[in-house]
C-alpha cells in the first residue's frame, strides 16, 4: 500500500494551522517531512503528530 503525502499547505488545512506554523513544526522536528520541492509530509507523520497532541491534552 502506498502512503499518502501532503504539501505544507495541505497539511496546514488538515491541521487547521497556517503554513508557516507547519514549517516551524518541521524545523523543530515535531513533524517529519521529506525535504525537496515541494516539501512532502507523510500521512503517518501527521497522524503521529496528532496522536502526541491528543495524548498531551488528555493527561
Instruction: Quick: pLDDT tens for 1-57.
Output: 799 999 999 999 999 999 999 999 999 999 999 999 999 999 999 999 999 988 876
pLDDT computed for residue 42 by the predictor: 98
pLDDT computed for residue 59 by the predictor: 56
Cβ–Cβ < 8 Å for 44, 2: no
pTM of the model: 0.86
Instruction: Establish whether the linkage from the previous residue to 31 is cis, with ω within 30° of 0.
Output: no
Cβ–Cβ < 8 Å for 25, 31: yes
The CA distance from 21 to 36, in Å, is 18
Amino acid at each position: 500500500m502506498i502512503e499518502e503525502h501532503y504539501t505544507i499547505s495541505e497539511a496546514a488545512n488538515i491541521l487547521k494551522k497556517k503554513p508557516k506554523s507547519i514549517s516551524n513544526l518541521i524545523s523543530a522536528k515535531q513533524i517529519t517531512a521529506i525535504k525537496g520541492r515541494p516539501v512532502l509530509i507523510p500521512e503517518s507523520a501527521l497522524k503521529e503528530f496528532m496522536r502526541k497532541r491528543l495524548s498531551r491534552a488528555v493527561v
